[in-house]
Amino acid sequence: MTLNKIMFQKKKLQVTKIGIFLVCFVVAFSFATTVSAVAPQCSDGIDNDGDGYTDFSCNNINNIRGGDFGCENENDDNEGDDPAVYNARISIIDSQGNNVLNSYDDYYGGLENDFRFRLLSDEARDSCRGENYHGYLSNNKIEFHRVLNGTYKLEAEIGDFGAHSCFRGVIFTYSVIVGVHDEDAEIVINMDQFSPFVFFLPSQERATSTFYGIPGNKKAILYWGTNLKSNYPIAGYNIYKSVIPYDYDNCGVQGTLVNNNLIATTTYAVENLENWTTYFFDVKAVDTQGNESSFSEKFYVTPYPGPYYQFGDKVKLDSNLGYHRGLKIHDDKIVWWNHHGADPDKNGLYTYDIKTKQKTQIPSKLGWMIKDFNIFGNKIVWTDRRNVVNDGDPNRNSLLDNTDIYMYNTETGQETQITSNISMQRYSNIFGDKIVWEDYRNGVSGIYLYDINTKKEQKISNNLKRVSGPKIYGNIITWVDYNNDMTINIYFYDLKSATPTPTKILSNIHRSSRLDVYANKIVWNEAWNDNYDGGSKIYIYDINTASTTQITQTWMGQWYPNIYNNKVISGGTGYRFYDVSTKNEYQLPDVWDSIDVYNDKIVWDALDLDEGHHMSNIYMQTAYTIPNAPEDLTADGTNPSPIKNSTDFKINWTNSFDPSGVKGYWYKLGSEPTSTEDGAYTTEKPFTIFNVTAENQTLYLWLEN
């Protein structure tokens, strides 16, 4: 039957074919007569109302002025303002009549504590507008462009709507009627009319977080800020704890309520915890109506018996009306690039001696330097642009830029050009008598090594996709290799290996800003995703054990890690100091651009407002522990020692734990030491003390970390 039916339809179409032809002819004729008609004003490409804008554009709805606001759609034949379409301006005031929006940046500011607003409708207005309008802050008012008649729900939140952040979400709503106001009239809303809300404002970009904890013996001492917004007074706070790491896909784990009653202060000691167990904490504010806020910023603490880190005073080392670029420290020397806007002759590399407090400008024909200089002992290396041809030409191939690696000896004053190949060499790093850099000779990126003593260079990387950012410490060189999707692979190269070869240790890591190496440890940051909009975490790889460990437990903008011993310094949303040995994270002062760590010294530059001017200042702070006394001290296996005729005794003991590790040992026989260096120093354990001739003498032993 199907076959018969198809044949019948074919025959029927043949009968009516002439009719279809006639219809098509008429349509074609009609179309030809309307082509010459005048197009609607909102699609004719002409500024009909003389306001400088033409035609309809969906950009109007998205607050980007791409067309004429008088056009409701492309078929509108009047570019003049439509009285049924409004540019709604909404002001929000508190109960005293004060505008509450003047402390926030505009919609496009990009800071974490931005308000985002939208008018939400229960129906789509047209293909461009959809269900809602997004507004932005301008002159302390929320502006919504091209709003059609209707009743909307005003929603406000922190951050972008739908963005991945546990701080963000709708914080209040209010019903707004648009269409009864004159064009450009204002709508004033009192906060008391909002649905009840209470929320923490997240820390601003680069600002130190106001939420942190300090470890104690079986306890955690917590501190938090009061940067809150609510339309009722705050009555107190609740603290929640968990041993389960945060699940950022579900905005954290609420955990167990710690306190029985609301906490009235902004600090609290959580007792009866297990040492060496990491606890995750959240704070929630509660208003007088019983409304509880969303979670605060996340923070965590690992209690342990001590000793605990102590932090010295913040000391200003240098101040500049321009700005500093980059910052590196080795031993007691700091190096930075100084840009002095008022006096170009003061531009260049500077060193600072911490002991003598002397700042010295390096006499060099420096071109515009790339921010990748480094220091080791009396040697400084950097990338220099003095030999670049056609610098500033946008059409040149930057990979062929003749940037070179230079070295300067601060003791002899000698400057040495390390590379001379006509291509780009950059991102130099130095340790001892070895320099490494990224090299683009022959159009292929590679990692090169230069021996200062032998003056010989060698390529140590294979022909990979794109290698970058080499770092060296001791005999270990590490770098990243970029995949086509901009994920990275991490390699290392052991100079002391019997058969040195690049070794891949990790593959397909999300975008990483930088890595660093200390001894057998490599650290790097891994972004939440390719857009960086979820922050990043810091990871560490142990070459000896071939193991990877996540060392930061939050996604709060951990960038640019530097490592020395067990200290990892990272920047981003508040700069943090992480102790690998105890799994604790500490807050540091606000940091503007660069930060570095060496031994117990942390140095950084910050943009401060001094006497009405933005000053770039360099600061230093020490982070240290005081070792506890060694345990189980014996001489020839007992304490006191056995009685014997020999004058030689073997001294042994058990090292007490110290977060920085134990470097060496001091001892003194006889009177009690009067200072930390009042005795003899050794790195041997155990050691033998000879020629103890007097009876009943006392040996004192203490540790140096």
Q: What is the DSSP string of 463-491?
A: S-S-EEEEEEETTEEEEEEE-TTS-EEEE
Q: Reduced to 3 states, what is the DSSP secondary structure of residue 144?
A: strand
Q: Which helix (H) or strand (E) holds 28?
A: helix 17-34
Tell which residue, 438, 471, 439, 433, has the closest CA to residue 454.
433
Rounded distance between C-alpha atoms, residue 505 and residue 620, angstroms: 34
What pLDDT digit, counting tens, does each position of 406-427 carry?
A: 999 999 999 999 998 888 888 9
pLDDT beyond 70 at 450: yes
Domain boundaries, the chain: 2-37, 83-195, 212-301, 631-704
What pLDDT digit, counting tens, does each position of 640-662 carry?
A: 989 888 889 999 999 999 998 88
- Tell me the sheet residues that pair with 375: 380
Question: Could you report how far apart the first and last alpha carbons of the chain are, in Å?
Answer: 95
Rama region for 159: left / alpha / beta (φ>0; ψ in -120 to 50; rest)? left
Give the confidence band of 218 by pLDDT, cuts at 50, 70, 90: very high
* φ, ψ at 673 (rounded to 5°): -65, 145
Q: Reduced to 3 states, what is the DSSP secondary structure of residue 518?
A: strand
363 and 347 in contact (C-beta within 8 Å)? no
pLDDT beyond 70 at 14: no
What's 69's DSSP letter? Answer: T
What pLDDT digit, counting tens, does each position of 168-196 carry?
A: 445 556 666 666 555 556 777 776 666 66
What pLDDT digit, counting tens, does each position of 277-293 carry?
A: 999 888 888 888 888 87
The rounded percent of the chain whose pLDDT value lies above 90 is: 29
Query: Crossing angle for the helix pair 17-34 and 2-15, nearest 10 degrees?
Result: 50
Its CATH architecture, for the domain 83-195, is Sandwich (2.60)
Give the confidence band of 86 by pLDDT, cuts at 50, 70, 90: low
pLDDT beyond 50 at 446: yes
Rounded distance between C-alpha atoms, residue 558 and residue 538, angstroms: 6
pLDDT beyond 90 at 633: yes
Please give, one letter per residue, the 3-state secondary structure of 539-578: EEEECCCCEEEECCCCCCCEEEEEEECCEEEEEECCCEEE
What pLDDT digit, counting tens, does each position of 222-236 carry?
A: 988 776 667 678 899
Rama region for 474: left / alpha / beta (φ>0; ψ in -120 to 50; rest)? left
What mean pLDDT do residues 211-227 have? 88
The pLDDT, as a whole number, for residue 186 is 74
Location of structure tokens 């014997």:
644
pTM comes to 0.74
The pLDDT, as a whole number, for residue 17 is 32
Tell which residue, 458, 512, 469, 511, has the closest CA to residue 492.
469
pLDDT beyond 70 at 104: no
Burial of 415 (0-12, 13-18, 19+ CB in 10 A): middle
pLDDT: which is higher, 10 or 272 = 272
pLDDT: which is higher, 692 or 115 = 692
pLDDT beyond 70 at 402: yes
- Same topology, domains 83-195 and 631-704? Answer is yes
What mean pLDDT do residues 378-405 have? 74
Tell which residue, 150, 62, 65, 152, has the closest CA to residue 107.
62
pLDDT: which is higher, 21 or 493 = 493
The pLDDT, as a whole number, for residue 557 is 57
Give the angle 147-152-155 at the CA atoms, nearest 5°.
Answer: 105
pLDDT: which is higher, 77 or 228 = 77
pLDDT beyond 60 at 529: no
Its CATH architecture, for the domain 212-301, is Sandwich (2.60)
Tally of CA atoms within 13 A in the half-sphere of 535 that contains its CB? 22
pLDDT: which is higher, 37 or 276 = 276
Distances (CA, A) of 408 to 43, 237, 381: 66, 56, 7
Its CATH architecture, for the domain 631-704, is Sandwich (2.60)
Question: Can you read off the two tokens belonging to residue 164?
Answer: 């991945």
Tell which residue, 431, 545, 420, has the closest CA to residue 495.
431
The rounded percent of the chain whose pLDDT value lies above 70 is: 67
Rounded distance between C-alpha atoms, residue 437 and residue 470, angstroms: 6
Average pLDDT, the chain: 76
